[in-house]
């Protein structure tokens, strides 16, 4: 249930970031997620310590490669996704980044030894097929010379690469959490604080060197950024709690319910009706998630 709540929180965060993108640009609005999320993550950790009476553990040496890989691959994954969208193949990018659960299952099996049973594999594939079905649109045509219908090979490869790095990020975070010698709540909260600190420092430094006006604009927009930061930190806290309890592949599969939340926003906030193909995609997502929950 942590993953379902996290998906709902992430939907709210995405909505809050929508208007920030217009004033800060894509990179600036993305940085809001880390920079303004970090203080809330610290508050969450303080509340956890006060509640459990357990201080944050001293991370062992093995913790740092895991958390660093999770933070760095998440940043690069976002950059690849934005680069793919710059190729004007948004729908293809969305479709291929939603293959993440399949890749998480493979990486989790190889890197962490997280077992993937046949029913789990079936659930992951069914839910992912539903998202891909909803993401693709029929009748797309090439927008540039040399591109195939739907966007060409370059955006497809960038989208798949982005999904692979998001998958590695999830595996890295789970590896960091389970390496900490403490209860799962404290471990998840500690890992989140460290990861957001790394990302905030790195992205702030990059913007300071490459695009100082954007960094200044981000800092000046602190008031409207607080909601996005809070919801981002809350969603991440819930993701990390889920990572502490089960394999990353299970978490990222259940997380596909975010598509259902987004569909609800489109229907009730914007009055956009679903097509038969989208309804079939929704049915596949629900079936995959229900199957995954049932086998557990």
Confidence check: pLDDT of 149 > 50: no
pTM of the model: 0.74
Integer Cα distance of 279 and 159 in angstroms: 24
Domain boundaries, the chain: 2-50+60-139+150-295
> What are the helix and strand counts (H, E) for the chain?
13, 0
pLDDT (mean) for 132-148: 52
Q: What is the pLDDT of residue 91?
A: 45
pLDDT band for 89, please (50, 70, 90 cuts): very low
Q: Is the pLDDT of residue 47 over 90?
A: yes
Give the percent of the chain with pLDDT over 90.
26
Residue of 58, 37, 93, 74 whose CA lies nearest to 243: 74
pLDDT of 64 over the 80 cut: yes
pLDDT tens string 150-170:
445 676 677 778 888 888 898
- Which residue, 286, 296, 214, 211, is CA-closest to 250? 296
Among 40-54, 64-78, 109-123, 176-190, the range scoring the smallest mean pLDDT is: 109-123
Report the 10 Å Cβ neighbour count for 101: 28
- Predicted local confidence at residue 295, as pLDDT: 67
Residues 121-145 have a mean pLDDT of 64
Who has greater pLDDT, 78 or 234? 234
Residue 115, classed as helix, strand or coil, is coil
Asked whether the beta carbons of 175 and 183 are under 8 A apart, the reply is no
Lowest mean pLDDT among 72-76, 103-107, 207-211: 103-107
What pLDDT score does 203 carry? 92
Residue 71 has a CB neighbour count (10 Å cut-off) of: 25
47 vs 239, more confident: 47
Looking at every residue in the chain, the average pLDDT score rounds to 77
Residue 204 has pLDDT above 80, yes or no: yes
Give yes or no for a contact between 172 and 69, defined as CB atoms under 8 angstroms apart: yes
């Amino acid at each position: 249930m942590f993953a379902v709540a996290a998906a709902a929180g992430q939907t709210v965060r995405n909505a809050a970031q929508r208007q920030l993108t217009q004033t800060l640009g894509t990179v600036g609005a993305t940085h809001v997620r880390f920079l303004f999320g970090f203080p809330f993550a610290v508050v969450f950790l303080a509340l956890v310590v006060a509640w459990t009476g357990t201080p944050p553990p001293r991370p062992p040496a093995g913790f740092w490669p895991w958390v660093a890989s999770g933070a760095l691959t998440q940043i690069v994954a976002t950059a690849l996704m934005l680069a793919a969208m710059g190729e004007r193949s948004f729908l293809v990018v969305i479709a291929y980044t939603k293959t993440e659960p399949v890749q998480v299952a493979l990486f989790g099996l190889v890197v962490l030894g997280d077992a993937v049973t046949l029913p789990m594999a079936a659930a992951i594939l069914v839910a992912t097929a539903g998202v891909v079905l909803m993401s693709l649109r029929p009748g797309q045509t090439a927008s540039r010379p040399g591109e195939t219908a739907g966007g060409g090979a370059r955006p497809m490869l960038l989208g798949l690469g982005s999904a692979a790095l998001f998958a590695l990020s999830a595996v890295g975070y789970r590896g960091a959490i389970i390496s900490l010698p403490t209860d799962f709540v404290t471990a998840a909260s500690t890992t989140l604080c460290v990861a957001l600190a790394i990302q905030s420092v790195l992205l702030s430094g990059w913007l300071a060197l490459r695009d100082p006006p954007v960094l200044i604009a981000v800092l000046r927009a602190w008031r409207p950024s607080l909601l996005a930061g809070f919801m981002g930190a809350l969603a991440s806290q819930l993701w990390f709690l889920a990572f502490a309890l089960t394999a990353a592949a299970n978490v990222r599969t259940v997380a596909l319910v975010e598509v259902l939340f987004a569909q609800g926003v489109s229907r009730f906030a914007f009055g956009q009706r679903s097509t038969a193909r989208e309804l079939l995609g929704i049915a596949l997502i629900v079936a995959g998630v229900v199957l995954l929950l049932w086998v557990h």
